[in-house]
Amino acid sequence: MLEVKHLEKSYQKDKPALTDINFSVEPGTFVAIIGPSGAGKTTILRSLNQLIKDDGGQILLDGGDLRTANKTQLRGYRRQIGMVFQNYNLVERLTVIENVLHGRLGYKSTLAGMFGRYTEAEKQEAMTLLEKVGLEEFALRRCSELSGGQKQRVGIARSLIQHPKVILCDEPIASLDPASSQTVMQLLKDLTTEFNIICIANLHQIGLAKDYADRIIGIRHGKMVFDEDSDMLSEEILETLYDQNVTEELN
Ligand SMILES: Nc1ncnc2c1ncn2[C@@H]1O[C@H](COP(=O)(O)OP(=O)(O)O)[C@@H](O)[C@H]1O
Ligand SMILES: [Mg+2]
């Protein structure tokens, strides 16, 4: 279980980016974080794996606090937390399978990683994951030849080969067309259940959040304004989140 308690962050004095964020998520749950631009969504995700130093609170992964972890412990936690990015963060000139295998780097010495030393078992698993994301035929293609949606599916396979307990996705579909967005959301939903992981995705698209996520957390000005099962998301609640009327996006 992932528990966030009283998380606080200010980048500048007297300008809180996050104020008293509290939520906990059980394995097998797909959570969408929605809210206007600048609300603090990325700050939450980056705090969860301690890519940025927050100012206070607790982040507990199966009871262990990431915020007080030492370097070695933090490295261990980060292996358990996969990341999926808006712009995929792939090495474009390398093949699809090499990019998936990069997800294993957190388990290797720098040297073994540098020389691309992967075990047969790791290569087998990379292929299995590529099948799961529907890209087994692309294993030996260079990533630069793939479409955006395909690249994001490589990014998801790369996060899964880490054997994560949690995957954090920062705007995973913001660069994709509507059809690829749906494919990626469906994949995240299915893999969350299949691998019994926690998936947390920052999203702009409220309609897709409602269609695919189990639960939606709304953030505004760095504060949680709701945390509900996605079926509970009503127009009234949405109006509390956005300044302008965006409820038509639900239709
Ligand atoms: N590195 C930074 N330095 C200073 N302010 C930042 C930095 N990153 C984000 N902020 C500010 O923190 C707030 C939340 O930003 P962010 O988490 O990126 O929001 P979102 O992802 O919801 O768009 C915004 O006001 C933003 O300007
Ligand atoms: Mg953001």
**pLDDT tens digits, one per residue of 158-203:** 999 999 999 999 999 999 999 999 999 999 999 999 999 999 999 9
56 and 15, same structural domain? yes
CA of 42 to the centre of ligand 2 (A): 4
234 and 188, same structural domain? yes
121 and 18, same structural domain? no
CA dist 168 and 53 (Å) reads 17
Q: 42 with 54: CB under 8 angstroms?
A: no
Mean pLDDT of the chain: 92
Q: Which of 109, 127, 162 is the last residue of a domain?
A: 162
173 and 108, same structural domain? no
189 and 134, same structural domain? no
Give the three-class secondary structure for 94.
Answer: coil
Q: Taking CA 62 as the corner, what is the angle to CA 82 and CA 47, rounded to the nearest 5 degrees?
A: 50
CA dist 190 and 165 (Å) reads 15
Q: What local confidence, expressed as pLDDT, does residue 127 receive?
A: 98
Q: Which residue has the higher pLDDT, 37 or 238?
A: 37
- Segments forming the whole domain that contains residue 195: 1-80+164-251
CA dist 177 and 186 (Å) reads 14
CA of 52 to the centre of ligand 1 (A): 11
Q: Which of 162, 192, 214 is the last residue of a domain?
A: 162
Q: Indicate the helix (H) or strand (E) that contains 25.
A: strand 15-25
158 and 34, same structural domain? no
246 and 176, same structural domain? yes
- Highest averaged pLDDT of the listed ranges 10-19, 113-122, 159-168: 159-168
Q: Can you give the CATH number for the domain in which 60 is found? A: 3.40.50.300
129 and 16, same structural domain? no
Residue 197 vs residues 36, 44, 92, 173, 192: alpha-carbon distances, Å:
27, 18, 28, 20, 5
Q: What local confidence, expressed as pLDDT, does residue 243 receive?
A: 66
- pLDDT grade for 204, boundaries at 50, 70 and 90: confident
Decide: 42 in ligand 1 pocket, CB within 6 A. Answer: yes
CA dist 85 and 194 (Å) reads 21
Residue 248 has pLDDT above 70, yes or no: no
Q: Which of 42, 171, 225 maximizes ligand 1 atoms within 8 Å of its Cβ, making it the mutation to test the pocket? A: 42
Neighbours of 240 (CB within 10 A): 10
Sign of the C-alpha dihedral computed for residues 148, 154, 155 and 160 taken in this order? positive
DSSP tag of 103:
G
Q: Which atom of ligand 1 is nearest to the CA of 37?
A: 23
Neighbours of 120 (CB within 10 A): 7
- pLDDT grade for 34, boundaries at 50, 70 and 90: very high
Amino acid identity, residue 228?
Answer: E
CA of 46 to the centre of ligand 1 (A): 11
155 and 232, same structural domain? no
* Tally of domains within the chain: 2
CA dist 188 and 190 (Å) reads 6
179 and 251, same structural domain? yes
CA of 150 to the centre of ligand 2 (A): 22
Q: Which of 141, 162, 183 is the last residue of a domain?
A: 162
Mean pLDDT on 233-243: 78
61 and 103, same structural domain? no
Mean pLDDT on 137-143: 97
Going by alpha carbons, the residue nearest to atom 25 of ligand 1 is 38
154 and 31, same structural domain? no
